[in-house]
Amino acid sequence: MNHLIRPAERADAATIYRFVCELAEFEKALDKVETTEEGLAEAIFGEGSVTGGLIAEIDGKPAGFAVYYFTFSTWQGRNGIYLEDLYVSPEFRGAGLGKALMRAVAEVAVTRNCGRMEWSVLDWNVDAIRVYDGVGGKPQSEWIRYRLEDEALSAFAGQ
């Protein structure tokens, strides 16, 4: 099987949306997906977007994707890159595509002079954790991630 990792294009929005839904289903959170294909297309490929994507193909067929965005570290004084989503369809797992997608995001980070690459993983996703450990990633267990969303975000903002 020949694989290719390539930059995502606006024409890939339907494929990305399908992968987002498959990932959400895998994470037992399909009901949390609020976006649409059009919403993803605008967010990732619209003017001024700091988000990028990659598509993994095997023998010309979409097999997985990664979506990332740029962050900033005041301590390093430069951008970082955050891997928002990484997903490989079940029938293509075990072929090294997850690692290849991660490497491609790392290449973007190095090319853009980013000081770090970060991502999150659900604690029960031991297969992904194994991959992340294998590429040299280190858990940041001293940090607790917080989130404000939806009504709580609006309420806090005074809206």
The catalytic site residues sit at 132
Which residues are CB-contacts of 15 (< 8 A; sequence separation ≥ 6)?
Answer: 55, 62, 65
Q: Give the Cα separation of 12 and 67 in Å (integer).
A: 12
Beta strands 51-58 and 3-7, pairing class:
antiparallel
Q: Give the Cα separation of 90 and 27 in Å (integer).
A: 13
